[in-house]
Amino acid sequence: GDSVFDNVPRPPDIPLYAMIAAYNEDPSPIKLNLGIGVYRTEDGKPVLLNVVRRVEQLLANDISSNKEYLPITGMPEFNKLTAKLILGVDSPAINENRVATVQCLSGSGSVRIGAEFLAKHYHQRMVYISQPTYGNHPNFLIAAGLEMKTYRYYHPTKHELDFQGMLEDIGSATSGAIVLLQTSGHNPTGVDPTLQQWEQIRQLIRTKGLLPFFDCAYQGFVSGNLDMDAESVRIFVADGGECLAAQSYSKNMGLYGERIGALNIVCKTADVASRVESQLKLIIRPMYSNPPMHGASIVAAILKDREMFNEWIIELKEMSNRITCMRCQLFDALCDRGTPGDWSHITRQVGMFTFSGLNEAQVSFMAKEYHIYMPPDGRINMAGLSENSVPHLADAIHTAVTRV
Ligand code: PLP
């Protein structure tokens, strides 16, 4: 060859992408993609919230608007509103100006900027992540030059939180280590600590002087209640200690492609927070200069207007209710079929995903014989199901666990 890039090696396939490619190539009319983490309506269509459509029309008609650059840290109004959404309207940390908030490229960009900041300005490089966790988490941390260890999180046979294991592993963490936590709707397991368990986790983390880093990708999507889904972060902020919290509006506002989210760094004092914010600017500017405007305009418009906000809540609850409904329907369908095993975790788990417990062989059997696609770890996107497709999935699971 004569390309100057002839020596560029082909990287190994990303497992999730291989699954998506197989799905796309499958000509079957009954094929079902339960792999990717996006919400679908009962008709299997992508969702655009009515409130988002309405805001976009208002924005398009607003002759006073323009497309000039945002500041490096994003839209100031969005930043104020987004911090209040996660930390609460009366958060003392916000009132005392102890929170540095920067608009970032959704949850991914927020975790990545947080990781970059920690790599540059925190004394400890070790991050503890749950076993398992969102597949991109290790990538963000490694790319920032941080190091990783895992803490036990999921009990694979009981299909629930391995709380003792979690406490033991976090309890034996290196002093000052960072602990990455998912606020609610844990991806991929659908298993969250209870509020009492969060309180124990908090005491342990504070006693040991560890630094909590929350990833909040599903606020409101889990319980239908924005405050409840953020309670874990709030108890950590209420004790006056420091933490990081990344936010995403991909799922809860259906703004996936707008890449809108934020990183909040809660500090001890306003002076520290302002220095932290200045350093965040130095990280962001050489990377992409400043963030995009459109998603921030949408979120700010919804968060600041009571009537829009209420419309959003109704649509958010609809999405989270539909997922809960799918859980019940799938569980009932497996009971009806007398499928061997205990499937109660389908209704006990929360958020978008069911960690089914299906093994890799069963997952590939279901793809081949039933045209149902999911990642090898058996994670099912409940939002990809509908009343029509539940029986098909139940048949597939039943055959897979009896035959494979
Ligand atoms: N964090 C968690 C736990 C997620 O599940 C996801 C998406 O699935 C993300 C972050 C990143 O999503 P986004 O960058 O679209 O906010």
pLDDT in tens, 228-258: 999 999 999 999 999 999 999 999 999 999 9
Going by alpha carbons, the residue nearest to atom 8 of ligand 1 is 37
Ramachandran category for residue 106: left, alpha or beta (phi over 0 → left; psi -120 to 50 → alpha): left
Secondary structure of residue 163 in the 3-state scheme: helix
CB atoms within 10 A of CB 268: 13
CA distance 39 to 388: 16
Q: Is the per-residue pLDDT at 222 higher than 90?
A: yes
pLDDT tens-place string over residues 306-351: 999 999 999 999 999 999 999 999 999 999 999 999 999 999 999 9
Is the separation of the CB atoms in 298 and 59 below 8 Å?
yes
The single-letter code of the amino acid at 347 is T
Q: What is the pLDDT of residue 383?
A: 95
Q: Is the pLDDT of residue 36 over 90?
A: no
Q: Tell whether the model's pLDDT for residue 15 goes beyond 80.
A: no
pLDDT value for 13: 82
Ligand 1 pocket mutation, candidates 20, 108, 213, 229, criterion most atoms within 8 A of CB: 108
Strands 147-152 and 211-216, by their bridges, are unpaired
Mean pLDDT of the chain: 96
Indicate if the pLDDT at residue 1 is higher than 80. Answer: no
Tokens for 253? 């506002």
pLDDT at 26 over 80: yes
DSSP symbols for 298-339: HHHHHHH-HHHHHHHHHHHHHHHHHHHHHHHHHHHHHHHHT-
Task: Give the pLDDT confidence score for residue 81 in this predicted structure.
Answer: 98
Q: CB under 8 Å to 282, separation ≥6 — which residues?
A: none
Q: Looking at residue 37, what is its pLDDT?
A: 87
pLDDT over 80 (residue 73): yes
pLDDT score, position 208: 97
For atom 15 of ligand 1, which residue has the closest CA?
A: 250
Antiparallel, parallel or unpaired: β 379-381 and 353-355:
antiparallel
Say if residue 282 is exposed, middle or buried (CB neighbours under 10 Å; 0-12, 13-18, 19+): exposed
Which pTM was predicted?
Answer: 0.96
pLDDT of residue 17: 83
User: Which of 175, 112, 187, 169 lies closest to 142 in space, CA to CA?
Assistant: 112
User: Ligand 1 mean position to 157 CA, how many Å?
Assistant: 26
Q: What is the pLDDT of residue 12?
A: 86
Q: What is the pLDDT of residues 99-114, one digit of tens each?
A: 999 999 999 999 999 9
Ligand 1, CB within 6 Å, residue ranges: 37, 106-108, 134, 182, 187, 215, 217, 248, 250, 256, 261
What's the mean pLDDT in 1-24? 89
> What ipTM describes this predicted complex?
0.99
- pLDDT at 10 exceeding the cut of 80: yes
Per-residue pLDDT of 82-101, as tens digits, reads 999 999 999 999 999 999 99
**Segment 274-301 mean pLDDT:** 98
| Residue whose CB lies within 8 A of the most ligand 1 atoms, among 248, 253, 255, 353, for a mutation test | 248
